[in-house]
Structure formats: C-alpha cells, structure tokens
Amino acid sequence: MVTGSHRRSLELLVVVLAAAALFIITALPAGALTVTFVRHGESEANASHTIDNSIPGAHLTPLGQAQSAAVADALIAGGVPYDAIYASNMVRTTETAAPFAAATGLTPTVVPGFREINAGWFEGWSDSGPGGIGYVLAPALWTLGLRSVPVPGGADGNAFDERVDRALQLVEESGAQNPVVFSHAATIMFWTMMNVDNPDLLLMLTHRLQNTDVVVVDGSTEEGWTLTSWAGRDVGPASLGAKLFVNVRDLVVTPQAAVYRVAQAFRTGDIGTIAEAVRDGIGAVLRAPVTFATAVVRDVTEAITAAVRPRSAPATDDALPAARIAAAAPDMAADVAAEPSVDADESAAREDLIRALRSPEQESPSVRTARTTRTAQKPVLRAVDAAEDDAEDITGGPHGVGTQPGGQAEPTDDRASAATAGADPGGDTGADTGGDTGADTGGSDEKAAA
C-alpha cells in the first residue's frame, strides 16, 4: 500500500520530469526539413512570352497540363515520402499541383507567400529584351547582398525575402518533413540563391529553371538552408570562396535588414514596436563585424586544416620492394642454408678447365690443394672469381703470378698468399652482397666459355 508521503513524492517526481521534458523540447531548434520546390507548367503567358505576375494570373496550356502530370509521376517514382503539398495563390501553380495531389491523396495548401515576384513597371512586357532584363536586374542584385534595391514599381529584396521566409515558417509549423512547394521561377531561383549557405550564382545563367524543374533545399528558417539539387543536378558543399562570399554578403545585408524592419515598425505607429525594432537593429549592426570576423577565421582555418590534414596513403613504389624483401628474407635465408656451398660437379669441371690451360710444369699438387681448400670455404661466387684470377695469372697479367726466366713456376708460397688474400674482408663483402645471383650468373657464363 502506497502511503501519502510516497504518493506526494511520486507526484512531485512526475511534475519535475514533465517540466524537464517541456524545457528540452522548447530549447531544441526547429527540426530540419527537406523542401522540394517545383516550378509550374507552361502557362498561357509563358507560351506568349509575356510577363504576367498578376493574381490569379494565366492558366496552363495543354503542354503545361502534360508537364504537370509528368512531374507528378517523376516525384512519385523518386520514392521520397512526401507529406504535404503547398502552392502559391496563382492559378498556374494550383493547376500544376493537381495531378500530384490526386496521385498522393494529399490536399494542397495555398500560401500566398510563394507567389511570383511582382513585376512592377514590367508587367505585361515581353519576357525577352528590355522587359526581361529590367525585371530580373534587381533580384540579381539581391543575391549579391544589395537587397534594398527594388524592382521598379515593385518591392525590394528585404520584403521579398521576408515574405517567402514567413511562408516557409508556416510549412515548418505544420510539422511536415518532406513538403512539395509549387511556386514560380523567379521566386524559387532568387530566394534560393539569397539564402542557402552554398550558393552557385552561375546556375541561374547556365541552368535557368524551365517549366516543372525541381529545386531541393534542406534546413530550416532558424538554422539556415543548404542547396542539394538544382534542376536535376546535385549540388555539393560550399567551397571556401563561396563561404567567404556568404560571409561578406551577410555583413552587407545586416544593416539593410535592420533599416527595413525599423521602417516597417514605423508603419505600425506603435511606440513599443518602433523602440524594439530600433534596439534590435542597433544590436544586429554592432554584432555583424564580430560575426563576420569569426566566420572568416573559422572558414579559413577549416580550409587550411583540411588541406594539411595527413591522409593514410598507400605504400609507395619505393617502399613496396623493401617490404617484399623483408617478407621474403626468412625463405631466402632457408634456401641459402639448404644449398651446399659448392656443387661437386661444377668444382670438378672448373679444375679440369684450369688443368687443361696450364702447362705440365705449372701443375703443382700444393696449388691444387690450396684451390680446393679455398673453393670449399667460399660461396660459389668467390670460387668463380678465383678461377678467373688464375686464368689471368696463366696469361701473365700484371697482377698474376708469372713464370721465372728459367721457365720454372714461382714458389707456391706466393700462390698460397694469394689464396689467403682472397679471404679478406673485401672478398667477404662481395660474397654477401652478391650471393645467389652472382653464383647463378657466374656458373652460366663459365659453361658458355667452356
């Protein structure tokens, strides 16, 4: 039976654990999600090459409807567990989303923040020539950090970025992890390059988004975004140059964003809101240089560390032979120990050759004994060298043992001295360094000479 004190202790423990869990949940940052942006299919305005960003805008052409069905099939075939569909409040995006919604059973949610960038003065102009250039000039400057530049007759980059960010916050708050957002070319291209940490601005020129092209980003509005795929092309991590570019751009954007928020606060007419915006803006501007310097040092340090970090390289060509010799050394030693120092047949053949070359007067039992003893004590290589030296002696070479004027052979003591000299340290070194190979080669050459 649980007493009253024990019950109160359990209740207190439950309250503490619940409070701790609530604190942990609220302290954790928003979970990252993968957002798949899809540009709408061909609209009637696209077919006529007209800039039409009014709401609700033009409908899809038959080609655009076919493109919508095709992109729906492609998304499903990719095997990603999409869990939500969002579309702007323009007709061409909701019509593009319809086939995918029908195939997945998901209901599209219309979010006005995903609409196209307002064309301002260029509404109704041709999308080629001056109209097309004038329309995208300001958004292109936004990607470089000049967000206060407005589209003539339209909004600036601060307002555009805030609009899309709020739309994505709604997506995050819904709990979706793999949402599909049907939007527009300029909105997708410029917001992505303004916000991801690995921007590649050249992609907007080399791979401008076509109808139903797909762009994928990972992250959150709190932690930032990373571009992973652009029109079917995988995008890798940021290079050092891209990181430094983002650092500089963030430094330039901070005061512009602060001024924009203060201006928005003044529109409310609320003193508290204005004071808060001014305070936050000043704090952000003061922190920006410190944040910039810290980010630059971090990125440069990481790049240098990655460049000089030792890598486990495979054995070089110079190391491989040494390793093989070391591994084979025990076997080689065993082979050498197993072989006799002198092959009896080869030794006899050498003696016969030497005797055939000598004159009868030069034959001496003592010399033969010395030769036999010397040959028996040295490896094969040294025996071959001795035979060659004796051949030079017979021909009267400068280092040989010549004959005396009377035709008599010199005393055998000198020849014995030569045999002793052949056993000096130099001779041993030659035998050690050349052992097996020298013996085989010498034997072959001698037989050929015979």
Q: How many domains does the chain have?
A: 2
The runs of H, that is alpha helices, within 41-115 are: 44-47, 62-77, 91-104
pLDDT of the residue at 443:
42
Classify residue 87 as exposed, middle or buried by CB count within 10 Å of its CB (0-12, 13-18, 19+): buried
Shared domain check, 176 and 221: yes
CA angle 268, 269, 272 (to 5 degrees): 95
Classify residue 149 as exposed, middle or buried by CB count within 10 Å of its CB (0-12, 13-18, 19+): middle
Question: Is the peptide bond preceding residue 56 cis, with omega within 30 degrees of 0?
Answer: yes
Shared domain check, 242 and 194: no
Shared domain check, 201 and 54: yes
pLDDT of the residue at 32:
84
pLDDT of the residue at 445:
40
Shared domain check, 212 and 125: yes
pLDDT of the residue at 7:
65
Tokens of 81: 């567990």
Question: What phi, psi does 402 have (nearest 5°)?
Answer: -75, -175
The residue whose two tokens read 């819904």 is 174
Amino acid identity, position 235: V
Shared domain check, 269 and 176: no
Asked whether residue 435 is domain-assigned, the answer is no
Asked whether residue 225 is domain-assigned, the answer is yes
**If DSSP codes are grouped into helix, strand and coil, which group holds residue 183?**
strand
Shared domain check, 257 and 224: no
Asked whether residue 15 is domain-assigned, the answer is no
Domain with 198, as residue range(s), is 32-236
Shared domain check, 160 and 97: yes
Counts for the chain of helices (H) and strands (E), in that order: 16, 7
The runs of H, that is alpha helices, within 201-239 are: 203-206
Residue 435, CA distances (Å) to 140, 317, 372, 427, 445 in order = 77, 25, 20, 11, 16
Residue 248, CA distances (Å) to 29, 102, 137, 213 in order = 26, 45, 21, 30
pLDDT of the residue at 434:
40
What is the spatial distance between Cα 74 and Cα 41, in angstroms, rounded to a whole number?
A: 14
The answer to whether the beta carbons of residues 157 and 146 sit under 8 Å apart is yes
What is the spatial distance between Cα 94 and Cα 60, in angstroms, rounded to a whole number?
A: 10
CATH number of the domain encompassing residue 125: 3.40.50.1240
What pLDDT tens digit does each residue of the chain (450 aa) get?
545 666 666 666 655 565 555 444 444 445 689 999 999 999 999 999 999 999 999 999 999 999 999 999 999 999 999 999 999 999 999 999 999 999 999 999 999 999 999 999 999 999 988 999 999 999 999 999 999 999 999 999 999 999 999 999 999 999 999 999 999 999 999 999 999 999 999 999 999 999 999 999 999 988 999 999 999 999 999 999 999 999 999 999 999 999 999 999 999 999 999 999 999 999 999 999 999 999 999 999 999 998 888 665 454 444 444 444 444 444 444 443 444 444 455 555 556 655 554 544 444 444 333 333 333 343 434 433 433 444 334 334 434 333 343 444 444 444 334 333 344 443 443 334 444 443 344 444 433 333
Strand ranges across the sheet with 233-234: 108-110, 84-87, 179-183, 33-39, 214-220, 224-230, 233-234
pLDDT of the residue at 129:
86
Residue 127, CA distances (Å) to 46, 130, 414 in order = 9, 8, 110
Q: Which of 236, 264, 285 is the last residue of a domain?
A: 236
Shared domain check, 211 and 286: no
Amino acid identity, position 414: D
Residue 95 annotated to the active site = no
Residue 158, CA distances (Å) to 44, 88, 140, 257, 291 in order = 30, 19, 13, 6, 20
Tokens of 292: 């910039």
Tell me the DSSP string of 4-37.
HHHHHHHHHHHHHHHHHHHHHHHHSPPPPEEEEE
Shared domain check, 288 and 231: no
Asked whether residue 2 is domain-assigned, the answer is no
Shared domain check, 244 and 215: no
Q: Which of 116, 172, 184, 346 is catalytic?
A: 116
Among 78, 70, 106, 77, CA closest to 181:
106
Asked whether residue 66 is domain-assigned, the answer is yes
pLDDT of the residue at 309:
80
The answer to whether the beta carbons of residues 362 and 394 sit under 8 Å apart is yes
Q: Which of 220, 236, 252 is the last residue of a domain?
A: 236
Residue 42 annotated to the active site = no
Direct distance between the N- and C-terminal alpha carbons of the chain, in angstroms, rounded to an integer: 113
Among 356, 365, 354, CA closest to 389:
354
Q: Which of 40, 95, 184, 346 is catalytic?
A: 40
What is the spatial distance between Cα 357 and Cα 256, in angstroms, rounded to a whole number?
A: 107
pLDDT of the residue at 12:
63
What is the spatial distance between Cα 417 and Cα 346, in angstroms, rounded to a whole number?
A: 25
Shared domain check, 223 and 187: yes
Shared domain check, 117 and 186: yes
